[in-house]
Every structure is written in structure tokens, then in C-alpha cells.
């Protein structure tokens, strides 16, 4: 047996490991208990006292700012006096600071009647316009400069020239006189009294004048008088003119017999107002010597009571006039007008008088009555169809005077393109600018050249 063997060998109590383990556990338990007692009974240290709150020091008062020094008063600006004078009277005064700009104005001005303000005149002959500035460095005086304007005329005017007349003649018919214009028959008499002078071709590339007069008694003699052509009759009809001629083509007589105008014929009619000038007959030829004595026209009209010298109601020449110059930069100081293959006229602008002199056959157009040059404020050129009549052995032509076409208005040394139109032979020509507004003529006489569209030509310088 195992137990006996151990007893015999040790000779004492047998060793049990369990007992040793229990003993160790007991010792450990006792040690733990002692430790716990020590911990319980160990006097606890008093907690460290909380630090006393720090008291922030009172902020030191900021030092009072030193008072700013009183600003030195700005010096008073230097002021200059501006004085404005008109017609020797002070009309405005103002002050302006030294070295400042003054912009000229005239709003304080009363515009005198019939005057136009030009500019301000300063010292040392300086000149300033409205809106211009001047730097002021001293007292200054300025004087208003004026243009004298013509009084606005509101009375009656000549319907063919726009010139003032003593009484209303707007209802009175004008006179239309056919005038010879070949070289041998020049100079003509009575041209200086014509208000409108119209020139176009007749047969043989020659030209003929038709002169319109509102006051035919401004001259005593007109001539030499020549024969009629139908297109001249058509133009005279448009102005409701009393038509004066000496003979005519078959077509012209046919038109005259229809009564479209009242007329006086020095060849096949009552020639009481006509006579043959002996000098012209001898030096120019018989056919260039027939003259019109205007002093006998009143007696003719008294005799021929069916002739009316009063316009139809509502009649207008269709002409418009203005004293303002033509607004154009197209120069027309010298103008050449080719009317036919054998006839070219020249117009020369006279800067001093503001009108044109007409030259033909290398000579100035003059009035044989007194040798005076014939002058025109306006010249109008009209392009139209001019053609020969087929089968006409005398070389008669047609000139279209109705419808429309192009042309030029020439005045004041310049020109502008225009358009002409005419609805029928019963009304005058109408002239319009390219924008459709009415052409305005200068106050005074007008020369009208009707030239062929095919080979007519105008040259401007």
C-alpha cells in the first residue's frame, strides 16, 4: 500500500500540499486586511487651498488729448469783376474768383429789334463767342457786337421775283414776250425789265428767249420780237401769261387758236403795238427789226376787251423765295451751259453784287436800250427730251415741258441738284430738292435754261 510505504520512509506526519496553499492564502488575506486598516485610519491630507482670485488693477486713466490748434483762417479769395455792355449800357455784372474760367453766355441780353448777336468783344481786340471760356485774372469788360438786320417785310411782293412792290399784283397776269436770240439780232432791247428769262432751242440748233414781265411798262421798248413755238406757248400757259409774239409755226398757231392763252400777234393780228426799227432793219435785217412799244399796250387791251389780265382764282406761280443763301458747298462761280451743238452760255458770279452775269456769243448779255448788263440772282437748268419732228422739212423740234426731270438751282455762287415736275401745261413748273422740299430762289430775277437730256451739259467751277 502506498500509504504505508510513505509512513515508513518519513517517520512522521505526512506532507499535504493543500495545506500549504491554504496557509499562503490566509497570510495574504491577513496582509490585505492590515493594509486596508492602515488606509482607513491613515490621516487624510487637507486639500490644498484654492488660490485667491487675482484682483485686476484699476486701469490707469488715459491722458486727456491735447487740444488741436485752432486752424488758421483761409485767406479771402481774390475776386474779379466782369462787366458786360450792350449799346453803351451796362447790362450785366458779376464777380468771379481769380484764375477761374468764365464761360460766355448771352442769356441775360435783351435782343434789340432788327439786330442779331454776333459775339463779345474784350480788351486788346479779343473776341469771344457764346460757349467759349476765358481765364479771369483781372477786372474785365466786354461789349456785345451786333449785326443789323433788315426789317422783316410783310407787304406785297412780285410773284415772279419775290421783290417788294407798292401794291398787291398777285392777281395780275404777267406778259410773255418771244425774243430773237441769234447772234446778228443781239443785243436785244428791254431785257433789263424781264423778271424771268427762259431759253431753249428752236430749229437749226439756234435758241430763242421768252421773257416774262410782271410790269411790262418798266421798259418802253422790247425786241426784236420773234415767232412762236408750241412749247413756248405751253410754258406761257402755265403762268397764265398774256403771250406776245410775231408769227409762229403751224403747230404753235393751232395751239393759239384753241384759246389756251390770250395773245397778241405782230404778223397775223392787230399789230398796233409793233413797229420796225429802221437801224435794226438796215444793220440786222428785216426779220430782226420788229419791236414792241409797251406804251401802246393799255390801248390795245382797251380795244380787245375779251382779253383778261386777271389770274384764275387760286393761281400760284409755284415759286418760293428766301433771303437766306443757298446751303451748299458745291461751287458755281463759273458755269457753262451747253444748250445745243452750236450754243453754249456762261454764267459768272459777281461776288460784290451777289448775282450772275450771262455771257453768250463770247459777249456779256446787255440791254441795247441803255447798254446795261443783264443780271440774275438765280439760274435754273432743266434737262428734258428735245427731238426733231420726223418729216418736218423746216427742222422744227419738240421740247417736252410736262412730266419730270433733273436739273440744277444756281445761286449765291453755289449750286444744288433739283428735280422738276409739271402735271400739265395748265400749271407752272414745280422745283424740288432731292429731299422733296421746295426749291427756294433768291430775291430777284431768274434765268431758266431748258437743255436736251441727250447732249446738254452743265460744267461748274
Q: Is the pLDDT of residue 186 over 80?
A: yes
Higher pLDDT, 71 or 256: 256
Q: Is the pLDDT of residue 33 over 90?
A: no
The reported pLDDT for the residue numbered 5 is 43
Higher pLDDT, 67 or 297: 297
Q: How confident is residue 11, by pLDDT bands cut at 50, 70 and 90?
A: very low
CA distance 390 to 163: 44
Q: How confident is residue 25, by pLDDT bands cut at 50, 70 and 90?
A: confident
Using CA atoms in the order 27, 30, 35, 39, what is the torsion angle rounded to 10 degrees?
170
In the numeric block, which cell numbers belong to residue 10?
518519513
CA distance 141 to 129: 15
Contact call for residues 150 and 114 (beta carbons, < 8 A): yes
Q: Is the pLDDT of residue 14 over 70?
A: no
The reported pLDDT for the residue numbered 86 is 93
Whole-model pTM: value is 0.72
The strand pair at 457-460 and 334-338 is best described as antiparallel
Query: Per-residue pLDDT averaged across 56-61, rounded?
Result: 72
Q: Is the pLDDT of residue 1 over 50?
A: no
**Residue 307 CB neighbours (<10 A):** 14
CA distance 461 to 459: 7
Q: Is the pLDDT of residue 38 over 60?
A: no
Higher pLDDT, 323 or 44: 323
The reported pLDDT for the residue numbered 21 is 74
Q: Mean pLDDT, the chain, as a whole number?
A: 91
**Residue 461 CB neighbours (<10 A):** 10
The reported pLDDT for the residue numbered 364 is 97
CA distance 144 to 151: 20
Q: How confident is residue 6, by pLDDT bands cut at 50, 70 and 90?
A: very low
CA distance 178 to 245: 5
The reported pLDDT for the residue numbered 223 is 97
Q: How confident is residue 2, by pLDDT bands cut at 50, 70 and 90?
A: very low
Least confident span in 25-39, 110-124, 437-451 = 25-39
Contact call for residues 239 and 428 (beta carbons, < 8 A): yes
Q: Is the pLDDT of residue 310 over 90?
A: yes
Distance from first CA to last CA of the chain, Å, rounded?
A: 169
- Phi-psi sector, 267: left (phi>0), alpha (psi -120 to 50), beta: alpha
Could you tell me the strand order of the sheet in which 274-276 lies? 221-223, 290-293, 274-276
Least confident span in 87-101, 141-155, 338-352 = 141-155
Q: Is the pLDDT of residue 434 over 60?
A: yes
57: phi then psi, degrees, rounded to nearest 5: -70, 145
Q: How confident is residue 35, by pLDDT bands cut at 50, 70 and 90?
A: low
Least confident span in 35-39, 256-260, 330-334, 399-403 = 35-39
CA distance 121 to 127: 5
Q: How confident is residue 324, by pLDDT bands cut at 50, 70 and 90?
A: very high
State how far Cα 75 lies from the chain centre.
53
CA distance 386 to 375: 27
CA distance 51 to 53: 6
Beta partners for 421?
A: 404, 430
241: phi then psi, degrees, rounded to nearest 5: -85, 155
Query: Per-residue pLDDT averaged across 157-161, rounded?
Result: 98
The reported pLDDT for the residue numbered 10 is 45
Amino acid at each position: 500500500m502506498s500509504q504505508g510505504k510513505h509512513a515508513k520512509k518519513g517517520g512522521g506526519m505526512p506532507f499535504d500540499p493543500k495545506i500549504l496553499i491554504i496557509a499562503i492564502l490566509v497570510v495574504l488575506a491577513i496582509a490585505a486586511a492590515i493594509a486596508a486598516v492602515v488606509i482607513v485610519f491613515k490621516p487624510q491630507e487637507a486639500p490644498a487651498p484654492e488660490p485667491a482670485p487675482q484682483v485686476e488693477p484699476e486701469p490707469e486713466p488715459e491722458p486727456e488729448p491735447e487740444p488741436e490748434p485752432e486752424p488758421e483762417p483761409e485767406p479771402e479769395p481774390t475776386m474779379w469783376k466782369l462787366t458786360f455792355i450792350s449799346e453803351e449800357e451796362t447790362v450785366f455784372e458779376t464777380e468771379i474768383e481769380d484764375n477761374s474760367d468764365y464761360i460766355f453766355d448771352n442769356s441775360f441780353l435783351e435782343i434789340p429789334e432788327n439786330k442779331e448777336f454776333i459775339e463779345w468783344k474784350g480788351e486788346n481786340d479779343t473776341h469771344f463767342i457764346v460757349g467759349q471760356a476765358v481765364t479771369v485774372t483781372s477786372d474785365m469788360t466786354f461789349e456785345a457786337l451786333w449785326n443789323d438786320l433788315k426789317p422783316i417785310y410783310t407787304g406785297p411782293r412780285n410773284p415772279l421775283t419775290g421783290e417788294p412792290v407798292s401794291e398787291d399784283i398777285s392777281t395780275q397776269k404777267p406778259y410773255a414776250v418771244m425774243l430773237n436770240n441769234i447772234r446778228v439780232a443781239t443785243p436785244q432791247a428791254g431785257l433789263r425789265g424781264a423778271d424771268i428769262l427762259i431759253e431753249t432751242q428752236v430749229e437749226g440748233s439756234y435758241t430763242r428767249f421768252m421773257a416774262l414781265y410782271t410790269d411790262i411798262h418798266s421798259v418802253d421798248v422790247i425786241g426784236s420780237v420773234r415767232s412762236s413755238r408750241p412749247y413756248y406757248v405751253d410754258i406761257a400757259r402755265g403762268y397764265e401769261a398774256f403771250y406776245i409774239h410775231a408769227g409762229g409755226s403751224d403747230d404753235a398757231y393751232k395751239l393759239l387758236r384753241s384759246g389756251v392763252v390770250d395773245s397778241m400777234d405782230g404778223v397775223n393780228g392787230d399789230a398796233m403795238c409793233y413797229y420796225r426799227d429802221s437801224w435794226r432793219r438796215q444793220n440786222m435785217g428785216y426779220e430782226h427789226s420788229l419791236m414792241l412799244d409797251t406804251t401802246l399796250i393799255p390801248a390795245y387791251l382797251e380795244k380787245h376787251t375779251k382779253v383778261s389780265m386777271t389770274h384764275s382764282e387760286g393761281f400760284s406761280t409755284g415759286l418760293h423765295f428766301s433771303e437766306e443763301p443757298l446751303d451748299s458747298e458745291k461751287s458755281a462761280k463759273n458755269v457753262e451751259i451747253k444748250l445745243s451743238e452750236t450754243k453754249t452760255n456762261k454764267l459768272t458770279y459777281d461776288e460784290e453784287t451777289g448775282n450772275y452775269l450771262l455771257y453768250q456769243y463770247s459777249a456779256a448779255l446787255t440791254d441795247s436800250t441803255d447798254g446795261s448788263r443783264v443780271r440774275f440772282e438765280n439760274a435754273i437748268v432743266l434737262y428734258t427730251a428735245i427731238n426733231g419732228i420726223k418729216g418736218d422739212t423746216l427742222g422744227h423740234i419738240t421740247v417736252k415741258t410736262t412730266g419730270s426731270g433733273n436739273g440744277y438751282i444756281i445761286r449765291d455762287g453755289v449750286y444744288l441738284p433739283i428735280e422738276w415736275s409739271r402735271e400739265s401745261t395748265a400749271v407752272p413748273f414745280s422745283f424740288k430738292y432731292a429731299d422733296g422740299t421746295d426749291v427756294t430762289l433768291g430775291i430777284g430775277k431768274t434765268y431758266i435754261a431748258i437743255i436736251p437730256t441727250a447732249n446738254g451739259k452743265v460744267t461748274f467751277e
